[in-house]
Structure 1
Amino acid sequence: MEADDMFQIGDNIVYPMHGAGIIEAIEEKEFSDEKQQYYVIKMSISHMKVMIPTRKISGSRIRPVTDLLALNNVMHVFQHGESDQLLTWKERHTINTNKIKTGDIQDGAEVVRDLMRMKKEKALNASEKKMLDEAHEFLLSELEVIEGITEKQIKSFC
């Protein structure tokens, strides 16, 4: 897929483990006598700029921001989905880390949901607190740029 077919300047994207960002430019750079096109992405959480070769974008798991229709299903699972209470801390950590790495909004919302539920029952350990904070920040960074989303919908994930 050509760069022009994948993303355009101004598109909101989600980069797994980094949250939402915006394509600010598509630039051509030369390294080791080879010219390549790069997406220049400004990340909303860290405010850092990331450059990713356009030819590697499909393997990076970067995706467009979720639309409002898909968000309704995510909200339903977030509010009514079941949490697996019988996992050990180590199993939970592995599963949650893998979910966050997918970059999928549903997976991220499940991590936030499950850790928020656990936090209500007992104090989270330092690692799970950090994971909850990061997963929640990634989720909110995407929610804030979904076109047509209401403040009430965003708050339903808090």
Structure 2
Amino acid sequence: MSKTKAKPPFKVNQKIVYPSQGVGKIIEIKEKVFNDTKLLYYVMYLDVSDMTIMVPVDRCSELGIRAIVSADEALQALQTISEDFEPITSDWKLRYQMNLDLLKKGTISDIAMIVRSLYHRSKVKELPILERKLYDSAKKLLEDEISFALDKPLEEVEVLIHEKLEPAGLQNDVRRGAASLADLNDDDEFLNDDEDGIMPADEHDDDDDEE
């Protein structure tokens, strides 16, 4: 029986970020046999879903699992969401896929950019169901990670994020409020909910009813 060569990059009790799942903690490193090979698995507890899952150690990089960022990186992410930026495309399917790809990459900077762009887009026009879910997931992930990184209560971090978003929102609303009716109507019809909540936009039909 062969033995895995993977070396655990994380330690027991270490806080981690699993981009598609949320912030959690390594509670155990367990060895299991699969196809006559001994593999190491992380047993992770995820706070947001109150679930315990197992992930192969050698798949962590592929899944974007990483350690909680430093306090300086968390503060930079807060700064990112307050900065001005180029208006995002009005094609919601393209916008959704771009942001979904960012979420899968999972850096705190990527997550901050998703929150910033979708927050301001929602000021122009209500987001489709899938985008609202993507925004909510990214915002929750950002809040949780910054809360851990800065050792601040979650409620305080929620207020900080809102304060960082809103001033820029007020400045940009004037410019974006002047968008043409054609731009406002460019979004395809909203799509019905799906079972898993987040999935590639091209798996849906264009003929679904608008919410």
| TM-score for both structures, normalised by structure 1 | 0.86
Q: 1 CA distance for matches of 2:150 and 2:94? A: 36
2:37 maps to 1:34: yes
The 5 Å alignment of 1:25-104 reads 25-104=28-107
For the residue of structure 2 that corresponds to 1:112, the secondary structure is: helix
Over 3 Å counting, the alpha-carbon distance change for 1:50 and 1:82 in structure 2 is same
Q: 2 CA distance for matches of 1:134 and 1:34? A: 36
Q: 2 CA distance for matches of 1:73 and 1:38? A: 32
Tell me the C-alpha RMSD between the 2 structures: 2.0
Contact 1:17–1:138, Cα closer than 8 Å, also in 2: no
Q: Which residue among 4, 7, 16 is the counterpart of 1:2? A: 7
Structure of higher CA gyration radius: 2
Q: 2 CA distance for matches of 1:104 and 1:80? A: 18
Over 3 Å counting, the alpha-carbon distance change for 1:149 and 1:68 in structure 2 is farther
Which region of structure 1 is more displaced relative to structure 2, 9-18 or 80-89?
80-89
Contact 2:88–2:95, Cα closer than 8 Å, also in 1: no
Over 3 Å counting, the alpha-carbon distance change for 1:77 and 1:101 in structure 2 is same
Q: 2 CA distance for matches of 1:58 and 1:98? A: 15
Q: Deviations over 1:4-25 (max 9, x none)?
A: xx11101000112111110001
> Structure 1 residue 149: deviation in Å?
4.1
For the residue of structure 2 that corresponds to 1:24, the secondary structure is: strand
Over 3 Å counting, the alpha-carbon distance change for 1:27 and 1:83 in structure 2 is same
For the residue of structure 2 that corresponds to 1:79, the secondary structure is: coil
2:147 maps to 1:156: no
Which region of structure 1 is more displaced relative to structure 2, 104-113 or 146-155?
146-155
Q: 1 CA distance for matches of 2:56 and 2:158? A: 32
2:138 maps to 1:122: no
> Structure 1 residue 36: deviation in Å?
1.9
Q: Which residue of 1 aligns with 2:180?
A: none
Which region of structure 1 is more displaced relative to structure 2, 96-105 or 49-58?
49-58
> Structure 1 residue 105: deviation in Å?
1.0
List gaps (5 residues or longer) in structure 1.
none
> Structure 1 residue 113: deviation in Å?
1.1
Q: Which amino acid counterpart does residue 145 of structure 2 have in structure 1?
A: E
Over 3 Å counting, the alpha-carbon distance change for 1:65 and 1:135 in structure 2 is same
For the residue of structure 2 that corresponds to 1:42, the secondary structure is: strand
> Structure 1 residue 55: deviation in Å?
2.8
Q: Which amino acid counterpart does residue 161 of structure 2 have in structure 1?
A: F
Q: Which residue of 2 aligns with 1:106?
A: 109
Q: Which residue of 2 aligns with 1:131?
A: 134
Q: 2 CA distance for matches of 1:61 and 1:95? A: 17
Q: 1 CA distance for matches of 2:61 and 2:119? A: 32
Which region of structure 1 is more displaced relative to structure 2, 18-27 or 120-129?
120-129
| TM-score for both structures, normalised by structure 2 | 0.67
